[in-house]
Every structure is written in structure tokens, then in C-alpha cells.
A = this chain, B = another copy of it.
Amino acid sequence: MYNQVQIGVDYYPEHWDESLWETDIRLMKQTGVKVVRVAEFAWSRLEPTDGDFQLAWLDRVIDLFHQYGIQVVIGTPTATPPRWLTTNYSDVLPVFADGRIFHPGVRGHRCYNSPSLREYGSRITRKLGQHYSAHPAVIGWQTDNEFSMIDCHCENCNDAFRNWVKEKYESLEVVNREWGTVVWSGEYSAWNELTVPLGGSPHQNPSFLLDFQRFQWDAVVVFQKSQIDILRSTCPRHFITHNFHSYPQRLDLYAVSAELDVAAFDYYPNTSPLKQETTPYSGALSLDLTRGIKRRNFWIMEQLSGSPGCWMPMWRAPYPGFIRAYAWQTIARGADTVVHFRWRSAVAGAEQYWHGLIDHSNVPGRRFAEFSQLCSEVNALGGRLEGTTLNNEVAILHSYEQLAALHIQPQAEGMDYYENIKQYHRAITKLGMGCDVIEWKQPLDGYKVIIAPSLYLLDEETACRLEDFAAAGGTLIITNRSGVKNMNNIGVMQPLPGLLSHAAGVRVDEYDPIGSEMHTVVDAEGQTYTCSQWSDLLTPTTAEPIAWYGDDFYAGIPAVTVNVFGQGEVYYLGTHVEESYWSVLLTNMAEKHKLMHFAGLPDGVQASVRTGESGTFLFLLNLDRKPQTVQLARDYNSLLSGTLRSGQLALEPYGVEILEM
């Protein structure tokens, strides 16, 4: 239902005169567009006033899509409550910490705990579900749009938070103990003293703040579930997804996705030539993260089609080939359907300069021609690619709880959980090695190497799972700031790395938050690498040191160790070492574990492999403005050209090659 490899577009019929509809849809059909997303911001057209539902116009446009053989995904419109709703039911609008109201104007002006939003949002969702359940063009639903954290401080949120805390801890005695509120006389003596974090100071009890984040995640989950339940019952044959946007996010995408059929991502790689060295890699990480959400293929619900702009100066125009190459990158990393945002640039409203495939002039130009080529290619190869996916032997563990906790209490200048993951993932990607990025609580079966960055919060279950992984022969890499806290963000009274001390075979005697200052480590070969952020001063208990500090009062003290643990081994990195150290480390592991990788990739060129019953396909993408050459190990059949490729494969700027392995 949702695993066709195909191209779609986001279309806003309500923005255009009805006379344009059929012309637009006919051109979509001719171009090879297979699916559209509609209606996710159209509440004021679907229900112009309270209870006055107007679905006829949407019927007409969906009928037209059906007539032209294009499938439809409908978005529930709750991200943009209409003015009659926000004016008459003020509980819909979120409240900032300082009491200011988040007024309508842009999207997202809605409190997830608002009873009115729940009631009216459910009503329109039910209306749409019932109405389109049987329409032959409709295949699925997007809930709301781009969920994100709002940090609402209204009374409904206060009540909901109190209830959430009651349910978790049962009594204030437990709350006071588990949060350590005694510090600075923060103990609660009655439930009404407990509120969401109000203004005055961002420096509050970190246990309280972490639970407030969790509460907010749950609020989104509950809000979305009210729509999912309706759609499941009204449209049992349809799939349900949600379009997440950008990483890192403060929202826990894993929790929010638990009940979805498929994850979707809105992908806007930066077009600037100044970002050319980083964009392909941070983009690859975003796609691997999205594939990791449900641990299977995903959708792109909005794919860059022109220069974004509006609430910022416009970005650079996409270079020739950019749009096509980045669309292929998403498929190479597990996207099936790629929906492009948007068909045509808006002529009205706050998003006029978020450019679509076609400009305001409605004259298709260079970008549209490139999109047409993409549609043809994907339509030609979609059948072969359908059912294929990525099978990787390396995984990075990723956690929104760690992200939140490390955001609440910054550790050292320049130390950033997500940026560190970026570095590890970039080193892996440059080696042409496939990598999953998965939720830290997931089973680890099938992996040979696990990188677990800063397991700052830690419980026994996870520590045991990681020990089991290593004991069974896996290679586990852990880093400084692991085992620091229990899951309530309370410091652990034992030497670091706490619950991982046994597995790592080291003891942290002391640490130095070196921050942005550059220090050095020296490995056993005498090679010197820069390090920064943090220095754990290590005493190996059962581990062997493999790198030592090169300076400061702890020169000569172990900085990196490896511990043989059962059939496997555990690396401990006491400091943040530069990327090239990771390349050496990972290359050694690749040899040891016979990990599939692609040595000698030029910078900017990415390799990835999709496998399935229909075959195994190697994607080679030059995400760079310069031509590049890749050395092929043998002859391959090129899916795009149908010809044989061998030896030096030339890739033009933003060139794409797909080889059958």
C-alpha cells in the first residue's frame, strides 16, 4: 500500500482558482507523478464556520485526481485551527512561559492538551475519515503537520502535567525523593504547588525538567492517538503516517511514531555552496534516522523543489542536478515514495518564497525539466526497487532522553550530543559503510558494531543489554558522559562510567571539561590526534589503554581503552577525538568484522545498497559541484543507462549511478 517506489507532489487546490486544477493535474499525469498530498492546512475551507462542513470542493479535486490515476494522501488539518475556533475557544492557543499567547498567524498555534482542539479536531477528522473512507483515489492519511514541541504553559497543561506526575509517582513524597526537590527548598507540600516550568529562570531542577519533556512527548502521542483511533475505525484499509521535519528535534519521534504505519520526513538539504561539504552527510544522517524510526523504509512527504525562503532570506537556487540527486539520495537510503514540495510556488500567504517545482509565473522551467527526468527514471526503476531495503551491520544508538538531559544541563562548551553523532556518522558514511541509527532501547540482534554515544542517563536493563551484546561477540563503543545519571536525571554515587564500568573495564578518576580548547591524544603508533570537549582521566581495571593524553597535567594518562568482554570487546573513549581517529578505528573494525564498505570514496560521493528479492543495488551519488571519479572493483550493469560500467566511473556534478550487484 505504501511501499511503491514513486514520485509525488504536495498540492494545495484551495490556493488556486478551480480553473487551474485540471491543467495542473493533467501536467502531473504527463510528468509521471503518482501520488499527491492535500488538505493538511485547509480547515478554514473544509469548515468555514463552526459545524458548516464544505467538502464538495475537495471531492471535485480528488475525483479529478482519480480520473487521472493519481493517488491521494489526505492531511488532517489540525495544525492550522481556523480563526472562528481560536477566537471562540481560547484554550486552543498555547501560552508561553511568560504568559504571552501564541496567536494565530503561522501554523502550529494549538495546545496539544486543549479540550476544544481535541473536540473540534476529532470532529473534522471523523468527518474526513467517514467521507473519504471508500474513495478509490485515497490511500492514506497524514496526521496534522510537522509536530514539534510547543512548551505550552496554560492551565490545561498544568492540570495535565499534575495528572501525569501523579500517575507516574503516585505521591508527592515519591516526587520529592525522585526529583531531589529538597535542594533550594523546592519540595512540594500540596499538588497545587506543582506547575509546568514557569518564567523567571531557565535554571530549574533537572529531574523536573526532564519529566516535563517526557510529559510533552506523551501529550503529542495522546493528541495524535485521538486522530489515529478515528482513522483506524473509519478507514481500516488506509495507512497512516506523519511528516517529521528536521533533526535534532526536541520531540521524541520514536514515541510519536509507535502507532503509525510508516514514518515520513520533510527533507530540505541546504542549497548553499558554502554548505556543500556538510549537507550531504547531515542529510544522510537525517535519512538514516528516519529509516530507524520504524526500522523500515519510509516516505519523504516534502522534498526540496526550489529555493526555500519567507521568514528568512531566500536560499540559493538549487544547482543543476541538485533536485534529482537529493531525491535519489532519499531512495538510496530507504525512501520509497518521494513527495515534492510543492507543485507551484504560492502567490499569497506567508510561504510565498518557499519555491515549488513551478515558479509564480506558472511557466515550467529548468527545475521542472529536472523533476520530469527524475519521474521518468523512478517510474522506470520503481518495480525493481520495490521491496528492497538496507541491511546494515553497524548501528548508532540515538536517544531523545539523552538529548533532552544534555540540553537541560550543558556539560562543556562545544559539547553537543547531536553534533557528536554527526561526526561518528560522517566518518562511517565516508568509508562507504552502511549504518543504522536506532532508538537506544531497541534490540541489537544482527549488528556487529554498536556505537552508543554518551549514555548519560542509564538503567540496568540497558547496561545489561549492552553487556550481552558485547559478550556475544559484538564490538561496543561507548564514550565519556556515560552512566552519569539514573533515569530520573539524578547523579549516580559510584565512579564513572557507572553501570558500564564492568563492561568497559575502566574507572574515571577525575574529569576535565576542556570544552572548545584543543588538546591531544597519542595512540600506540605514536600518531597524535586533536581532542576537545571533555577529558576523562582513566584508570583501566581490566581494559587495555590504546591512546593517551598528550598534554596538560594528565599527559600520559589513558584516554581511550579497549576491554575484551566475553566474545566481544568494549571501547571507551574518554575524550572527543577528531574524525580521522574514528576513521582509523572504524577501518580496523571493518577489517576485523568483514564489514561491507566502499574504500576510496571521494569526498561528497556517497554509496549505499538496497537489497531484496529483486536484486541488490548499489547507489553511487556525487553530491558535489565538482565531477568525481569512483574506482569500481568489477563490471556492473547500470540500471539507469542499461549499459555496463567498469574501472573508473565518472560522476558529473550531482551525478547519479545505480549498479546491479
Chain A contact residues, CB within 8 Å of chain B: 12, 14-15, 41-45, 48-49, 77, 80-84, 87, 98-107, 109, 179-190, 192-193, 197-207, 273-274, 307, 309-317, 319-320, 345-353, 359-363, 365-367, 409-415, 484, 490-496, 509-515, 517, 553
Instruction: Indicate how many identical chains form the complex.
Output: 3
For the complex with contacts A44-B181, A180-B346, A180-B349, 7 further pairs of A-B residues with Cβ separation under 8 Å are A84-B193, A99-B99, A105-B205, A186-B349, A316-B512, A347-B492, A367-B510
| Contact present for B510 and A185 (CB under 8 Å) | no
| Contact present for A203 and B77 (CB under 8 Å) | no
Q: Taking each of A104, A316, A350, which has the highest tally of chain B beta carbons within 10 Å of its own beta carbon?
A: A350
Kindly state the separation between the CA atoms of A315 and B410 in the bound complex, as whole angstroms: 11
Residues of B within 8 A of A363 (CB): 495
Kindly state the separation between the CA atoms of A633 and B180 in the bound complex, as whole angstroms: 57
Q: A189-B82, A317-B511, A352-B491 are in contact. Are A14 and B200 (CB under 8 A)?
A: no
| Contact present for B45 and A193 (CB under 8 Å) | no
| Contact present for B200 and A352 (CB under 8 Å) | no
| Contact present for A347 and B203 (CB under 8 Å) | no
Residues of B within 8 A of A346 (CB): 180, 183, 491
| Contact present for B199 and A513 (CB under 8 Å) | no
Q: A103-B199, A189-B82 are in contact. Are A366 and B184 (CB under 8 A)?
A: no
Residues of B within 8 A of A496 (CB): 361
| Contact present for B510 and A203 (CB under 8 Å) | no
Residues of B within 8 A of A312 (CB): 410
| Contact present for A347 and B490 (CB under 8 Å) | yes
Instruction: Quote the shortest CB–CB distance from A144 to chain B (angstroms).
Output: 13
Kindly state the separation between the CA atoms of A112 and B45 in the bound complex, as whole angstroms: 36
| Contact present for A83 and B41 (CB under 8 Å) | no
Kindly state the separation between the CA atoms of A148 and B118 in the bound complex, as whole angstroms: 44
| Contact present for A206 and B352 (CB under 8 Å) | yes
| Contact present for A14 and B360 (CB under 8 Å) | no
Residues of B within 8 A of A48 (CB): 187, 189
Residues of B within 8 A of A349 (CB): 180-184, 186, 205-206
CB-nearest residue of chain B to A178: B348
Instruction: Quote the shortest CB–CB distance from A12 to chain B (angstroms).
Output: 8
Instruction: Quote the shortest CB–CB distance from A411 to chain B (angstroms).
Output: 6
Kindly state the separation between the CA atoms of A189 and B493 in the bound complex, as whole angstroms: 61
| Contact present for B491 and A198 (CB under 8 Å) | no
Of the A-B pairs whose beta carbons lie under 8 Å apart in the complex, a sample of 12, sorted by A's number, is A15-B180, A82-B187, A83-B187, A83-B193, A98-B100, A103-B200, A205-B348, A274-B517, A313-B410, A313-B412, A346-B491, A361-B494
| Contact present for A43 and B203 (CB under 8 Å) | no
| Contact present for A44 and B361 (CB under 8 Å) | no
| Contact present for B183 and A15 (CB under 8 Å) | yes
Kindly state the separation between the CA atoms of A180 and B198 in the bound complex, as whole angstroms: 37
Contact of A207 among B104, B109, B348, B362 (CB under 8 A): B348
Q: A193-B84, A310-B203, A490-B348 are in contact. Are A187 and B45 (CB under 8 A)?
A: yes
Residues of B within 8 A of A307 (CB): 512-513
| Contact present for B180 and A347 (CB under 8 Å) | yes
Kindly state the separation between the CA atoms of A106 and B314 in the bound complex, as whole angstroms: 38
Q: A185-B42, A316-B515 are in contact. Are A509 and B365 (CB under 8 A)?
A: yes
Q: A350-B204, A415-B313 are in contact. Are A80 and B185 (CB under 8 A)?
A: yes
Contact of A200 among B105, B188, B513 (CB under 8 A): B105
Residues of B within 8 A of A84 (CB): 189-190, 193
Residues of B within 8 A of A105 (CB): 186, 197-198, 200-201, 203-205
Kindly state the separation between the CA atoms of A349 and B203 in the bound complex, as whole angstroms: 10
Q: Taking each of A101, A105, A202, A514, which has the highest tally of chain B beta carbons within 10 Å of its own beta carbon?
A: A105
| Contact present for B347 and A513 (CB under 8 Å) | no
Kindly state the separation between the CA atoms of A77 and B514 in the bound complex, as whole angstroms: 35
